């Protein structure tokens, strides 16, 4: 099967590549779909969505399904719902929330605000997420991320344990910022297994879950 990656950054925020160059490199790496999810807050949501959408028809020429989304980053937890609505109104197809990674000073309560909002698609690198928040993610259809990004991946095993307790869905993403961050389908499966999943579970996270997310996006 071909690879799907639903968390990637470009020059529209802190990535190294133009959206179309990232798309081209993803095609060469045998990706069938990607989501451009640049860091966003109220200051730039409209701009990055508008600009990135211009490259979607170009990516389609290579047979790549390119979703345009955002990663809402360092938003006060009390205001997250407002900014989620703002992003959706601006045309974000996929909404990722920057979770409470141990690598950055994310406000405590961000995970909880994200998993209690059914309009959030993915909670990225959620760090030491609690069982209660994992349960809310399961209840509200928010998918928890297993990440290949080294600075965030230290808690992947914990995320898997919490998700398993409550049957929360998980997806493997790269949080790509540069060309070297792109990974193959085989590498994604290995990362999931390394986090504690069985091969069958890993295959679900790498293949079925991202396709389910895209299907949900297309049905909105």
More confident: 1 or 151: 151
| pLDDT (average), residues 2-14 | 97
Q: How many CB atoms lie within 10 A of CB 42?
A: 14
Please name the residues in contact with 218: beta carbons below 8 A apart, sequence gap of 6 or more: none
Helix, strand, or coil (residue 141): coil
Within 8 A by CB and 6+ apart from 9, the residues are: 15, 36, 37, 38, 39, 71, 175, 176, 177
Domains of the chain: total: 1
According to the model, what pLDDT value does residue 94 have?
Answer: 98
Span 130-159, pLDDT tens digits: 999 999 999 999 999 999 999 999 999 999
Strand, coil or helix: what is 15? coil
Q: What's 140's domain CATH number? A: 3.20.20.140
pTM over 0.95: yes
Q: Is the pLDDT of residue 45 over 90?
A: yes
pLDDT band at 1 (very low <50, low <70, confident <90, very high): confident
| Residues 209, 169 contacting (CB under 8 angstroms) | yes
The pLDDT value recorded for residue 176 is 98
Percent of the chain with pLDDT over 70: 100
Cβ–Cβ < 8 Å for 125, 149: yes
Let me know the angle formed at the C-alpha of 143 by 137 and 148, rounded to the nearest 5 degrees: 130
Range of the domain at 215: 3-219
Residue 208 pLDDT exceeds 90: yes
Mean pLDDT score across all residues of the chain: 98
User: In angstroms, what CA-CA distances link 110 with 37, 51, 98, 189, 195?
Assistant: 18, 27, 8, 28, 23
Band (pLDDT 50/70/90 cuts) for residue 47 is: very high
Band (162; pLDDT cuts 50, 70, 90): very high
């Amino acid at each position: 099967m071909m690879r799907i990656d639903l968390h990637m950054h470009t020059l529209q925020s802190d990535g190294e590549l133009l959206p179309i160059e990232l798309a081209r490199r993803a095609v060469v790496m045998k990706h069938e779909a990607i989501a451009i999810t640049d860091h966003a807050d109220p200051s730039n949501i409209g701009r990055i969505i508008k600009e990135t959408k211009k490259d979607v028809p170009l990516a389609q020429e290579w047979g790549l399904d390119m979703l345009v989304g955002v990663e809402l980053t360092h938003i006060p937890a009390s205001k997250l719902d407002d900014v989620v609505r703002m992003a959706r109104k601006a045309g974000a197809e996929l909404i990722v929330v920057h979770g409470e990674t141990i690598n950055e000073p994310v406000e405590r309560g961000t995970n909880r605000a994200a998993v209690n909002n059914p309009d959030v698609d993915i909670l990225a690198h959620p760090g030491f997420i609690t069982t209660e928040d994992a349960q809310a993610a399961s209840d509200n259809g928010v998918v928890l991320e297993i990440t290949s990004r080294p600075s965030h991946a230290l808690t992947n095993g914990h995320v898997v344990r919490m998700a398993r307790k409550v049957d929360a869905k998980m997806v493997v993403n790269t949080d790509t910022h540069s060309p070297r961050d792109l990974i193959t389908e085989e590498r994604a499966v290995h990362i999931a297994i390394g986090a504690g999943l069985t091969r069958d579970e890993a295959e679900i996270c790498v293949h079925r879950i991202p396709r389910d997310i895209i299907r949900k996006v297309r049905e909105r």
